[in-house]
Amino acid sequence: MKFLDQAKIYIRSGDGGDGVIAFRREKYIEFGGPDGGDGGRGGHIYFRAVPSLNTLIDFRYTQHFRARKGGNGAGSNRTGAAAEDIIINVPIGTQILDEDRETQIADLDEEGKIILLCRGGDGGHGNSHYKSSTNRAPRRADKGYTGEERWVWLRLKLIADVGLVGLPNAGKSTFLSVVSRARPKIADYPFTTLHPQLGVVRLNNVEEFVIADIPGLIEGASEGQGLGDRFLGHVERCAVLLHLVDGTQEDPAANWELIRRELQAYDPNLAAKKEILVLNKCDALTEEEIEIKRKNLSELSGQEVHLLSSVSRDGLDELLRLLQNEVNEGKKS
């Protein structure tokens, strides 16, 4: 299944049904009168968040959604039938934006959350609605009211507890494949990850959390370099960021600083999230190299640096426990 996290669609609720002009003409009823019924309501347009979806790819092929018109009224004061509503299912974490792509209309960030976006038009009144002591035979009936229409943007931000960030080839995909059942593409060249990946980490078959891996950032990502920063939205909802730094690079501290600049340029709120800093690929380093690079990274970042080798699994259990504790704390607050 292809991954798509943005889509533009057209939605239109149904028009109301028309009221009618009708009169009673039964043979044995002495006094007739107006009995034209009202029109029925047009169909509403709803959006609902469901757990069975994780991409907006369906909206690439179906971009127009129109609800039906309500039924017209009839004689004998019969009201037209209300049209069936349309419920559009979207992944959890989908934001609905106005056509300007900036004004947020709704954020469907919980399972089952539903929102009415376009209300169906009301039905028009039949002539029985207008009868009075001074107007015994009204010949007025109203058309149904027009439904609402608009273009909207759907933007998906994946729901995850931990967000993986780092330069391309920092070992993020390898880490995700080791700690979860996710099977991202892994290779010895940059940008093997072209779209976000989710993985579920289970500890002791009791506790669990979700990790989101996004394509690696490079210098100038906030200005559109590489794959840009368009996927950073998928880690905005995370409780903690796991920043993997490739220990085999000449200057890991400078690489950490580069990613921090890009995060800050994208969104200061994202950059302010709790960060766990990890020096990765330590199995390819000597003890002396590890100590030097760890010290430099710690002095520049001002925080504790954790050591990890996803291949040999050294430091993995301690790191996963730390992440689980941070996720638990985030859920309490």
Mean pLDDT for each consecutive 10-residue tract of the chain (333 residues)? Answer: 81 97 83 90 97 87 95 94 96 93 92 96 95 90 96 89 85 86 54 66 83 70 53 80 90 90 85 91 90 92 91 89 88 69
| DSSP states along 50-98 | ETT----THHHH--EEEPPPPPP-BTTTBPPPPPPPEEEEEETTEEEE-
pTM listed for this prediction:
0.77
Q: Which residues are annotated as a binding site for Mg(2+)?
A: 173, 193
Looking at residue 223, its pLDDT comes to 57
Residues 6 or more apart whose CB falls under 8 angstroms from that of 250 comprise none
Looking at residue 305, its pLDDT comes to 92
Looking at residue 210, its pLDDT comes to 87
Q: List the chain domain ranges.
A: 6-156, 162-332
Q: Which residues are annotated as a binding site for GTP?
A: 166-173, 191-195, 213-216, 280-283, 309-311
For residues 112 and 2, is the Cβ–Cβ distance under 8 A? no
- Give the separation between CA 100 and CA 261, rounded to whole angstroms: 28
- Give the separation between CA 170 and CA 181, rounded to whole angstroms: 20
Q: What CATH number belongs to 6-156?
A: 2.70.210.12
Q: Which of 22, 20, 112 is nearest to 72 (CA)?
A: 20
φ, ψ at 295 (rounded to 5°): -65, -45
Looking at residue 23, its pLDDT comes to 92
Q: Which residues are annotated as a binding site?
A: 166-173, 191-195, 213-216, 280-283, 309-311
- HSE-CB at 275 with a 13 A cutoff on CA atoms is 24
Helix or strand (DSSP H, E) at 330? helix 316-332
- For the domain made up of 162-332, the CATH class stated in words is alpha beta
Instruction: Return the residue matching tokens 């200005």.
Output: 223
